[in-house]
C-alpha cells in the first residue's frame, strides 16, 4: 500500500463516476448532506480494525514517508465536518503536494466504544486517489452516548498498537489528527454496550486503557493533534479545552470552524514536514509498549 501519487485529473475522474463535479478551485461543487456524501450503512470490510496491522512503508517512489492518521468523529453531531473534508480533499492534497510529496493518509472513523456498534474504522495508508475511495467508505453510525465525550483516543491506541511505520527507522514520528466537538475521553473501555476495545480490535487486554498511559505510549510513535470543531454554542467549551490541555499545548490543540478545518490539516502536516529537528523516537516500531 501507499504507492502512487495524488493528481487532480484522477480526482476529477473519480468524482465524475460519483455524479459530482469539481470546481475550478478544486472543491466538490454544490451542497451535500452527510447522507449524500457518505452512503455506507455498515462498516466496510476494508476498514475493519480487528486483528490488522496497517503499514506505511518507504519505497523508491516515496522514500521519506510521512504517515498521517486522520480520524473523523462519526457520531451524530459531526457529520457536516466530515463533508467539508470530503468536499475539499483535493484542495488539501494539492496544497500538500506543493511542499510534501511523500505524505500517506490512513483515514479513521471514531465513535463511542461504550455505546456504538462500529466505534473504530481504519483504512490502509495511501498516497493517491485511494485516499478518496477509502474516505467514501466511512460509515457514519450517528451514535455516541450521553457521557460528554467520544472515544477519540482510539486513534492513539490504533496508531500505537496497530501500525508499522518505516519513518521511525529514520528517527521521525507519524502524525495523528483527530477531529471532534466533545471532551477528551478519560479511558477506553474493554467492553461496551455493543462493542468495546476487545471486540473492535481483537486485542487481548486485561483492563480499561487510561488516557494518560496511552498518551505516554502513543506519543513515542506519533505527534498528536486535535482539531476542536466549533459549529455552534457548547455549554462545556471550557471543559473541552481543559480535558485536552492536560496533554496537548496550543500548537497541538486547535480550535477550528467548518471553514478552517482543511487549512489547519494542511498547516499541521506541512509544519511537521518542514521541521528538520529529528524527533526523539525511543520506542521501536514493533514495540509492545505498555501492557494493559
Output the CA–CA distances (angstroms, integers) from residue 146 to 111, 177, 195, 211, 236, in the order listed: 13, 24, 16, 19, 13
Quote the cell numbers at residue 292. Answer: 494493559
pLDDT at 21 (0 to 100): 95
Mean pLDDT of the chain: 90
Sorted by where each begins, the domain ranges of the chain are 45-274
Q: Give the contacts of 263 (CB within 8 A, at least 6 positions apart).
A: none
Dist. CA 257–CA 268, nearest whole Å: 16
pLDDT at 101 (0 to 100): 87
- Helix/strand/coil for 290: coil
pLDDT, tens digit (0-9, with 9 covering 90-100), for 20-71? 999 999 999 999 888 888 889 999 999 999 999 999 999 999 999 999 999 9
Give alpha helix (H) positions in the chain.
Answer: 8-17, 34-37, 79-87, 89-99, 130-136, 154-161, 197-201, 211-218, 237-245, 261-274
Quote the cell numbers at residue 115. Answer: 455505546
Give alpha helix (H) positions in 49-137.
Answer: 79-87, 89-99, 130-136
Say if domain 45-274 classifies as CATH 3.40.50.410.
Answer: yes
Amino acid at each position: 500500500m501507499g504507492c502512487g501519487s495524488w493528481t487532480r485529473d484522477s480526482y476529477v475522474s473519480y468524482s465524475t463516476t460519483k455524479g459530482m463535479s469539481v470546481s475550478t478551485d478544486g472543491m466538490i461543487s454544490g451542497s451535500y448532506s452527510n447522507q449524500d456524501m457518505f452512503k455506507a450503512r455498515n462498516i466496510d470490510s476494508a476498514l475493519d480494525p480487528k486483528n490488522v496491522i496497517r503499514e506505511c512503508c518507504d519505497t523508491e517512489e516515496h522514500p521519506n514517508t510521512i504517515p498521517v492518521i486522520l480520524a473523523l468523529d462519526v457520531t451524530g453531531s459531526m457529520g457536516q465536518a466530515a463533508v467539508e473534508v470530503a468536499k475539499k480533499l483535493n484542495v488539501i492534497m494539492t496544497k500538500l503536494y506543493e511542499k510534501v510529496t511523500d505524505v500517506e493518509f490512513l483515514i479513521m472513523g471514531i465513535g463511542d466504544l461504550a455505546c456504538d456498534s462500529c466505534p473504530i474504522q481504519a483504512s490502509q495508508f495511501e498516497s493517491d486517489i485511494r485516499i478518496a475511495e477509502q474516505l467514501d467508505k466511512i460509515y457514519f453510525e450517528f451514535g455516541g452516548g450521553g457521557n460528554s465525550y467520544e472515544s477519540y483516543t482510539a486513534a492513539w491506541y490504533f496508531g500505537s498498537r496497530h501500525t508499522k511505520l518505516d519513518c521511525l527507522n529514520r528517527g521521525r514520528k507519524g502524525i495523528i489528527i483527530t477531529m471532534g466537538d466533545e471532551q477528551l475521553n478519560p479511558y477506553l473501555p474493554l467492553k461496551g454496550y455493543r462493542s468495546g476495545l476487545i471486540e473492535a480490535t481483537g486485542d487481548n487486554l486485561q483492563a480499561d486503557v487510561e488516557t494518560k498511559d496511552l498518551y505516554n505510549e502513543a506519543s513515542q510513535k506519533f505527534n498528536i493533534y486535535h482539531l476542536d470543531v466549533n459549529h455552534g454554542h457548547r455549554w462545556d467549551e471550557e471543559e473541552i479545552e481543559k480535558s485536552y490541555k492536560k496533554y496537548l499545548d496550543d500548537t497541538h490543540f486547535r480550535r477550528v470552524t467548518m471553514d478552517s478545518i482543511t487549512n489547519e490539516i494542511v498547516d499541521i502536516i506541512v509544519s511537521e514536514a518542514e521541521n528538520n529537528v529529528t524527533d526523539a523516537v525511543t520506542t521501536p516500531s514493533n514495540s509492545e509498549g505498555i501492557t494493559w
